[in-house]
Amino acid sequence: MHSVGISAKVSSPEAVELARVTAERLRKRGMSIAFDEASAQELSAPGDRTLPKADLGHDTDLIITFGGDGTLLSVARHAPDGVPIIGVNMGTLGFLTEIRVEEFEDVLERVLSNRYEAEARVTFDVSVSREDREQKSYRVLNDAVLNKSALARMIEMRINVNGKFLSTFRADGLIVSTPTGSTAYNLSAGGPIIYPTMEAMVITPICPHMLSNRPIVLPDHLSVEIGIETENQKTFLTLDGQEGFPITREDRVTVTRSPHTILLVSSPDKSYFDVLRTKLKWGEGTIG
């Protein structure tokens, strides 16, 4: 490895300091460093490069994020295939940033010597199309979410799967989640936990009007198309909780599996089930 991209949560002094120390160590090993624009203002040294977050993985051999799941998501969803990502958690344990500060040095050495384990996580392509404008496409690692505005009444959404009508949901919104994102907003909305390497997608209504409108798990080779049926209603599409914009009845939102995956470096000391038990506090308060 010759080049490392670094992104730190700049509002966290601990994250910035660990990123600074790490960058110094890597420079001494002859590696070039690239920072995202916000991190560069705090950490950049002569010879370092500054890149937009969307480009941080396109000219580097490794990405390291210091912060939480949001910090990792802001970079990882744009990362190209094959570039490993180390997500260092600077607060409470995250579902994505599972590398603790205490184990980071060991994990980094494993990665630099090519002795690490990583999981390829599925991403989804989300396209927004309308007859009178060019189709726009986005990539998500967690989810695409349709939400009503704060003061609006519930929205009615028509769902087609592979061109076939599934149902019309009346709800506060709808989540289409990857397996990785199943432990994010999907879980809060009552959706199921899906093992992160499964080939599946989850459709979960948010506060549905009908109790019979339940989450549904589909194979991810199917495409899901969502149309808004409600007139004069403010509806927003949010992508990985990172960016969003309003959509109307004229828009069609289509979610499909992306050909690109995200490579997340795994902790050598704990499994996905360890993370679940810790985050969800399973087993606490039991009689033994």
Residue ranges per structural domain of the chain: 3-117+266-280, 123-259
Q: How confident is the model at residue 154 (pLDDT cuts 50, 70, 90)?
A: confident
Domain at 123-259, CATH homologous superfamily? Probable inorganic polyphosphate/atp-NAD kinase; domain 2 (2.60.200.30)
User: 247-286: per-residue pLDDT in tens?
Assistant: 999 999 999 999 999 999 999 888 889 888 888 888 776 5
pLDDT at 2 over 60: yes
pLDDT cut 90: percent of the chain above it: 79
State phi, psi for 160 to the nearest 5 degrees. -115, 140
pTM across the whole model: 0.92
Q: Is the dihedral angle over the CA atoms 192, 149, 165, 167 positive or is it negative?
A: positive
Cα–Cα distance, 63 to 53 (Å, whole number): 11
Out of 36, 69, 220, 240, pick the active-site residue: 69
Is 69 catalytic? The answer is yes
Which fold, 3-117+266-280?
Answer: Rossmann fold (3.40.50)
